[in-house]
Amino acid sequence: MRIQQCGVVVIALLTGLFVAHTATAALTLTENGEIPIANGTNVLAAMAINDSPGSSDLTLIIQIEIGGDIVLDEDHECFAIMPTENIPDDGDPAGWTAPNFDDGDWDKGEYGIGYGDGDDNFDIGDGSHAAVYSRAYFDVSGTGGVVSLILGADYDDGCVIWINGVEVARASGMDTGEFPHWEDWTDQGGGQSHEASKTDPPTYETVEAPVKIVGSILAVEAADRLVTTWGDIRRRY
């Protein structure tokens, strides 16, 4: 398991209602209540999904803003895999989104990820596979008073995004069921097709999500092995 050493961000007080921003209506806030954010290292998990077999391109770029500071954006280090089975296994297909999941054998690169556009930092995926999974690490400090974060995504064709194991948002119109599996194309009955902005810098669709400040989610031992307190967080919720 890797812990990305990110710049420490000093967080200011956020106020206001938790409403979807209006770049477009395509990215939808998931009603999962408050998102746990730690004073320290946090984990992003994000899935890019093709619309149908033979899709010519795929794109996923993520931005996270807290307290007016961008803590994750294009060019941020990430780890990705093109899955061909449930990860980690059929009994736990969502396990790869958990903070303590070991992504040590995934490919390393930077957002944006995808293929076919000629503008991806991290070329991964192909039209014969439905999805690409990605994970990244970002640091937050000075969390007193923080009440929300702004999540942005630029994607083709669909996406689902988790922070610290909790789903924050997904592309609207997806027909993939409660949890999108690696073999779920976006057009399973819904016909979801969506183009990325292809602008520089990316044009993000955004949502604002409420947060709850929690204790440290991850700690690193001297041998760089991951120790999780995720069980403690779940008990608090």
Splitting the chain (237 residues) into consecutive groups of 10 residues, what average pLDDT does each group show? 43 34 60 88 92 81 92 96 92 93 96 87 84 95 86 90 92 70 63 75 93 69 34 38
Given this model, what pLDDT does residue 70 score?
Answer: 94
- Whole-model pTM: value is 0.79
Q: Which three-class secondary structure state does DSSP give residue 149?
A: strand
Q: Which three-class secondary structure state does DSSP give residue 95?
A: helix
Angle (CA) 219 133 50, round 5°: 160
Q: How many residues does the chain have?
A: 237
Q: Which two tokens stand for residue 130?
A: 């439905």
Given this model, what pLDDT does residue 216 score?
Answer: 72
Percent of the chain at pLDDT > 70 equals 75
* Angstrom distance (rounded) from CA 101 to CA 118: 31
Nearest in space to 153 (alpha carbons), one of 17, 20, 38, 13: 20
Bridge partners (DSSP) listed for residue 28: 170
Q: Which three-class secondary structure state does DSSP give residue 172?
A: coil
CB 154 within 8 A of CB 202: yes
What are residue 43's phi and psi, to 5 degrees? -125, 125
Given this model, what pLDDT does residue 191 score?
Answer: 47
Given this model, what pLDDT does residue 139 score?
Answer: 94
Q: What is the pLDDT of residues 200-225, one digit of tens each?
A: 899 999 999 999 988 776 533 222 33
Q: Which three-class secondary structure state does DSSP give residue 110?
A: strand
* Angstrom distance (rounded) from CA 46 to CA 60: 8
* Angstrom distance (rounded) from CA 54 to CA 115: 12
CB 218 within 8 A of CB 226: yes
